[in-house]
A and B are shown apart, each in its own frame.
Chain A
Amino acid sequence: MKKLINISAFSLIAATVIMISSCAKLKQMSPTGVQSQQLFKDSTGLSEALTGLYSSLEVQEYYGADYLMLCDLNSDNGVAGGYNNTLLNEFGAFSVSASNNYTTNTYVAIYKTIATANAILTGESTVTGASTQYLNTVKGQALALRGMAHFDLLRAFGYHWDPTSAFGIPVVTSVQSSGSVVPRSTVAATYTAILNDLNQAASLLSGDADRSPNYINPAIINALLARVYLYKKDYANAAKYATLVINDGAYTVLNQNTFQTMYTTKNSSESVFELPFDQQNQSGYNATTYARLGAASTEVLFLANTDLSDFLTNRTGDLRANLVAIDPSGSYYRTLKYSSDLVQKDNPAYVIRISEMYMIRAEALGRINGLADINMIRTNRGLAPLGPSDVPDDPTYAQAVSDEDRAEFNFEGHRYFDLARTGQVVNILQPLTSFTITQANSCFPIPQREINATNGAVVQNPGY
């Protein structure tokens, strides 16, 4: 009896142990994620990866707000708000240090877009059942965004104004492993890589007639090319591509009565490339520049500089002065460009507007031929046109272009790059801070963690 109980108990136990031993499965795969071999199987997966690529642009650190707003803060347009936010104050005093978390996160976020594009470009080869045309469309968009991302990195972290400089950025054109180290390219080589991507994208998408400002199309690529050539100081090409966009016919500069509606509507006729947000996928522009009527300075991270307000109000008739204001109950200036959509918080990112094409061409064509393009913007913003006597020499013309850019694109992320491009960082910013500003402050430092993680293979910008 006892033996029987022992045997039966023992076999019961043994059976139970064997039976249940498979309950706790050691091979576990995420039920909410997919692996690349699942994704790059057919055109459905490929299109979902492409959606992901666009979504990578919209993170807070990139076009979700920070990339553009930090660059305005690091200029005479912005002042740091928040509660003595030490990292933000570094931008406010134009003294960003290499361990700054904001630049670190933005740097990596932009490379995330590049990594996603590279994964798509590589993954396309395993996709079956998709037409060549579709594959080319995806490839073209991925290349264009990769080119744009490299350019966004170059103008933030590299010596973009000096084509002879060694301080370009690491150019990444293949899928990376966690141990891959890519040293910095020269500025010239970085420009070449960017232009290669954009030109290849242009030819792959050449037949595309869609002008939705939310997806890469030939006009957006031309606009990007115009911008890149301007920074590269290849003025002939800058003017050429700006003209292609201006003559495309899909875009118009809004007039003085309607231009403010571009900040309250989506995909206005000014928008060449605009990243849309919605309530389920919000942007940070409203929360970081406006917050609410009567907001205290602590609530807003990116305040407007008194200098910006003074600059605009001194331009008699410039209606854009209305877009920088002191809140009735406050004491600090704020931009009102993102003050609508309080609850939705889905203010779009204005990546490229048609006005920029006119301003690029104005700058590229110079004093004699460019004046009409400046006036195109001025007259649509409530200002009188400039005559040749107003700009008697090149420096006054350059100042007129610079002022027009500042008036038009403040809090859209242009100012710091424009100052760096035109060599004005020291003379404009030094009077505003007690920190010593040099030419080296014309771009941000490479994140310290990058230099550590690459064991010095990626070198720091001079002066940092």
Chain B
Amino acid sequence: MKRNLRVFTALLVLLLCYLAPHRAMAQGHVLKGTVVDAQGNPLPGVSVVIQGTTEGVTTAVDGSFSIRLNGASNILAFSFLGFDKKIVEIKSETTINITLDESKSELKEVVVVGYGTQRKSDVTGAISSIKNKEFKDQPGVSNLAASIEGKLSGINVTQPSGTPGAGLLVSIRGAQNPLYVVDGVPMESESNSSLGTSYNLSGQSVGSGQNISSISDINPDDIESIEILKDASKAIYGSRAANGVVLITTKRGKAGETTFDFNVNYGMQNVEKKIPFLNSQQFYNLTNTAISNDIWVYNNDIATNNPNPHFALADMITAGIVDANGNPIPDAAAPYYDLASGVNTNWQNAIFRTAPVVNYELSARGGNDKTKFFIGGGYFGQDGIIINNYYDRYNLRANIDNQATKNLSFGMNVSMTYSDDKRSFNDNTYTGVVTNALGASPLMPVYSSPGVYSDYTLYQAYWLSDNPVKSAKEINAHTYTDRLTSSLFAEYKFTKDFSFKSTWSVDYADVNDNQYFPAITVDAQADNGKLLLGESRKLTWVNENLFTFQHKFDKSNLNILAGYSQQASKIQTSAEEALGFPQTGNVQNINNAATSYNILEPYPLEYEALRSFLSRVNYDYDGKYLFSFIIRADGSSKFAPGHQWGYFPSVSLGWNLSDEDFLKENKYITSLKLRASYGLSGQQDNVPDYQNYPYWGTGKYNGGVGFVPYNILAQTPLTWQSNTTFNIGTDFELFNHFINGSIEYFISDQNKLLNQEQIPGTTGFQWAYANSGKIEDKGLEIQLATNNIKTNNFTWTSSFNISFLTNIVKSLAVDNQYVYSYTDQNATNILKVGQPVGTFLGVRFAGVDPANGDALYYAGDGTKERADQVNFTRDATTIGSPRPKFYGGFNNDFRYKKFDMQIATQFSYGNKVFNLIRTTYESLGWSSASTPSGAYLGGVYANNDTRVLKAWSHPGQITDIPRPSFLLQNYFPNSSEFVENGSFLKIRTVNLGYNVGKTKYFSNIRIYAEAQNLLTVTKYIGFDPEVSSTGGGNDQTAGIDYAAYPPARTFSLGLDLKF
């Protein structure tokens, strides 16, 4: 050691001796200058190198630099990531201004590929990539998924709910819930709260409602780039990659003077659309029409000798619409409609509001060639467009990179987020604020006297569960999320070509659901105040150890990655209910309650672990012939020993045709690459922990506690789902950078599908987790970008993408599985061989009988029958699919001098929506009784939209809106009558910006304005065709609209200061 030290000292001295005279000999002159981009913005961090030497400087925050020309060479090279390199010969100038053009060659960009990066030209997989500049400055966007909506082929992002902070649905090639990897650390794909979010009034959870997206706590502005692995390239993430992988790279420090960036924006939101409803007089008229129709129908049944009369005279007498002799009672319903009160409440106006959204960001980045840092923090505050709800998020993010020695570097990332989502109670289900507002009687005032909510039971509309404004204002439903993600890494370069990197990271998420119902709400009136508490805590640690080797042998490039990864999680969930609260002081904590108890959870404490070995070999010859092989072996604690390990290999090939001699000189083809890949990936997320052993869990009886069987094992032991993906694609750039793009075709099979298999109920269980079934996805994706116009002052670029996808169930262990969106409603979807996942189930609507206005439906045998003759199980069939035939986006970017404008549009064609809430607000004057004899004049079901004014009114009339009827429900809710065309074209965002440029105090100032959800073109009758009341996280029940929280239209202004 001592000897080593001596040698080291000697070397150091020698080195100094070598440098010192060299500096002294320097000749030439000092050159000063600034580097700007095409818009004149200063570019900090540009490397300025004297060609042929290693000497150079980087530009400062204002783009300025100063370099001494040493005489050895007078040629300077200016280079900066994302810009074309510029080489300038210096003669005798002492100042120079350089303008760098943004790099037009997409293929030179570097993309993140999972455990490393690659030049786009070397990539052999189907990877969609988007950079920060394409989604920055979007006020009102809380979720990063929203920023890529409509911008990438094969990726369908939809907003199933307008709830502030709600998750978005990201579907990659038709598969939902991809794996998110942030700065190399795999995240939990979804953080569900432990409480159900849809309750009926008995307090029973009836549906899963809205999920909370795990990536909603990442600030979109902190992101540098997003890459999405769509084909076999995802095999590097093996077992969790089946649904695609989203790689998110956050901003990191840059060498150079510290720069600050302050970004603020403020917007106003409004509901995008309101549904026109009947006013008080029209509502009363509808009931009268329904009653007189019923009397007509009764007489018509007798006159036509109808063998299936609609109802008996006794039913009409009981209902009070005719007297004992069968004569109509005039104005029978009048006592229940106090038209003289003059009340005409528009309930949508009562619950919707104009709401602000504000966002502040402050970040600093800088460092030197040894240490670089980025720190940033932000606040996002969004008020909901429904009164009294909001989403607040505070986030901090920091990272440090240090080059300790020539060989050793290390660093860390840390990110913390706190969010408070004050949700609209039951925001997407049939007892929520929106659903109640859509059915409420216009004759009911919001307040019966100042400060006193009117009692909804005194007015018509038995659909309601409470006064909607009372629910919105008084129910206090919060979801609090704390999230900490942090990682440490160290990298050691053994040689120039060989290095090792080890990363340790933690992801801690605490999701706390807190729903308080004060005693004045219907939900808690019997209990004198009720609190529901749900808590879910998940801690995951991940350790990854990677060796990389790269070497260039003559024209061959070899790049080998090999590693070992392990992770473990601890998950704790609990749910509690507390009843009986004091009425003084609005106290809502569990310690204030008279009584409280725990709700049993099947597995309140879980541990899970994953261990993996992974390797990737990339080889190319001369950059022309590309080859990549990936293998990952994953072992999971979810499976029993002997079935734990899954092996996921993939191979891909690429050929850069344009580098071949026969194309090299081609005038039209700038670059052209062909790619093909085939590989396996796995899936285990569909299975909860502990399904590999039979367990007995807690059962309570008579104050004691014992055990009952919890689960049953499938016939064959569970193991990995294995997806095969075949992809061919091409990347091209034509006509001297005018157009570039890629085209992909893929076939992806989900084999050994991990799902719940229906088993005979005689076992005591409905389901066992099993590997059974197969689903096939196929598709064609086209992504194009064009540089339409480029002059000194004006540029116009466009990008267009379109994806055609089909999804089909190939086999199932048990065919024709009914899927229930809500446990107390008829099944809404079906899993059926030959149909896509999520296919709607219902009875086929056969139109309205012109003779008497009856809604008719096709029975199982093809004959037509009335709504009250339908036997759901016998008559139900497939009635449409929520999956679009194609979807995509068309985006345009204009730049004129210091102005810039982006217009982003999104489209979807062929998707259907099951508009179940219409069965409430197009109830056609129905009394709400399940049998005609139960009809009650004061109990009309719900107010209706104005479409019912065009309902059937006289014999012979051709219409598709059935006859209003008071005694009978003259429509069958689960029918194709309520399946609508959900195709749409949306102008998603219009963003206009102006770069003030450099000022005395700021290196740059930019101001911008944006409109979001500006226009939607659709035939859909409800609020928005994208909504999904079931949150859409489960693709088996997507596309159901039970009055989900509608989306907002937002106008906002922003300011970005750099200094």
Contacts and interface: CB of A to CB of B under 8 A. Distances in A.
Contact of A279 (B597, B704, B707, B817): B597
B825 A86 contact: yes
A33 interface: yes
A55 B702 CA distance: 8
Interface stretch (A76-84, A257-265, A404-412): A76-84
Given A9-B492, A99-B827, A453-B761, A31 B202 contact: no
A68 interface: no
Interface string A94-109: 0101111110110110
B235 to A, nearest CB: 21
A433 interface: yes
A28 B695 CA distance: 13
A34 interface: yes
B714 A296 contact: no
A93 B4 CA distance: 94
A182 B973 CA distance: 35
A112 interface: yes
A114 B764 contact: yes
B407 A5 contact: yes
A112 B760 CA distance: 11
A316 interface: no
Interface in A400-418: none
Contacts of A172: 762
Given A24-B610, A32-B604, A292-B526, A176 B706 contact: no
B708 A287 contact: no
Interface string B156-195: 0000000000000000000000000000000000000000
Interface in A167-186: 170, 172, 176-182
A134 interface: no
Interface stretch (A189-197, A240-248, A389-397, A444-452): A444-452
A175 to B, nearest CB: 9
Interface in B684-712: 689-690, 693-710, 712
A379 interface: no
| From B462, B920, B930, B939, residue with most partner A Cβ within 10 Å | B930
Interface string A64-89: 00000000000000011011111111
Contacts of A27: 637, 641
Contacts of A47: 706
Contacts of A88: 824, 930
B456 A296 contact: yes
A39 B696 contact: yes
A164 interface: no
B713 interface: yes
Interface stretch (A13-21, A198-206, A230-238, A365-373): A13-21
B817 A343 contact: no
Q: How large is the interface on B (under 10, 10 to 19, 20 to 34, 35 or more residues)?
A: 35 or more
Contacts of A280: 597-598, 700
A133 interface: no
Interface string B581-621: 00000000000001101100001111111110000000000
B564 interface: yes
Nearest to A115: B764
A136 interface: no
Contact of A452 (B526, B815, B974): B815
A252 interface: no
Contact of A298 (B462, B930, B931): B462
Given A26-B637, A28-B608, A180-B763, A87 B824 contact: yes
A34 B464 contact: no
A87 B699 contact: no
Nearest to B458: A329
A265 to B, nearest CB: 16
A6 B500 CA distance: 11
A464 B873 CA distance: 9
A209 interface: no
A83 B757 CA distance: 31
A192 B700 CA distance: 32
A9 to B, nearest CB: 5
A453 B690 contact: no
B579 interface: yes
B528 interface: yes
A432 B635 CA distance: 61
B1013 interface: no
B973 A83 contact: no
Nearest to A13: B500
Interface in B814-863: 814-818, 820, 823-827
B695 A278 contact: no
Given A34-B695, A52-B708, A84-B928, A298 B610 contact: no
Contacts of A85: 200, 824-825
Interface in A1-56: 1, 4-6, 9-10, 13, 16-17, 20-21, 23-36, 39, 47-56
Contacts of B296: none
Contacts of B68: none
B968 interface: yes
Interface in A334-349: 342-343
Contacts of B606: 30
A447 to B, nearest CB: 7
Given A84-B941, A178-B759, A331-B936, A26 B708 contact: no
Contact of B526 (A34, A101, A295): A295
Contact of B564 (A21, A50, A101, A329): A21
Contacts of A25: 568, 607, 609, 637
B1020 to A, nearest CB: 22
8 closest Cβ contacts across the A-B interface? A51-B706, A115-B764, A292-B526, A55-B699, A33-B695, A92-B930, A1-B4, A112-B764
Given A16-B545, A114-B764, A434-B931, 13 more contacts: A4-B1, A52-B696, A55-B701, A79-B929, A84-B919, A172-B762, A177-B715, A182-B760, A295-B522, A296-B456, A431-B933, A435-B868, A449-B761
18 contacts: A10-B500, A16-B545, A24-B611, A39-B707, A51-B700, A51-B704, A52-B708, A86-B973, A89-B930, A93-B868, A95-B871, A179-B715, A298-B465, A342-B527, A343-B528, A433-B931, A433-B932, A449-B818
